[in-house]
Amino acid sequence: MAQKKLKPSWVKTDIPRDIKVKYLWRAMIGNPTLASWQQAMTRMDWEKADEQYYRASRDTYNCLRDEILEMPEDEFKTLLYCTP
């Protein structure tokens, strides 16, 4: 029986990393408030298969922000290469 891989302590959501990079964290760039982030999310071109991960709630925003603040520096640096 395969064991489930535990997520790092800094990861606060169960949203796949590729979705966070492609949409959620990317929408945070230049949008430092919940309202501006929500607006950026609505303007994004979501792929049909990814729409199930569209979560523009205050809780999701706070969790994503906390992930960025708590992630290891080397992980944060990889985000710099994933963003426009």
Write the DSSP assignment of 48-78 as a string of letters. GGGGGG----HHHHHHHHHHHHHS-HHHHHH
In a domain, 31, yes or no: yes
pLDDT score, position 5: 75
- Domain of 66 in residue numbering reads as 17-82
Task: Note whether residue 25 is domain-resident.
Answer: yes
**What number of other Cβ atoms are within 10 A of residue 76's Cβ?**
13
pLDDT of residue 69: 94
| 38 within some domain | yes
Q: For the residues 43-62, what does the mean pLDDT come to?
A: 96
The model's pLDDT over 6-44, given as tens digits with 9 standing for 90+, comes to 889 999 999 999 999 999 999 999 999 999 999 999 999
pTM value? 0.84
Is residue 8 a part of any domain in this protein? no
Number of domains in the chain: 1
In which band, very low, low, confident or very high, does the pLDDT at 1 lie, cut at 50, 70 and 90?
Answer: low
Residue 79 has what pLDDT?
79
Element at 18 (helix H, strand E): helix 17-19
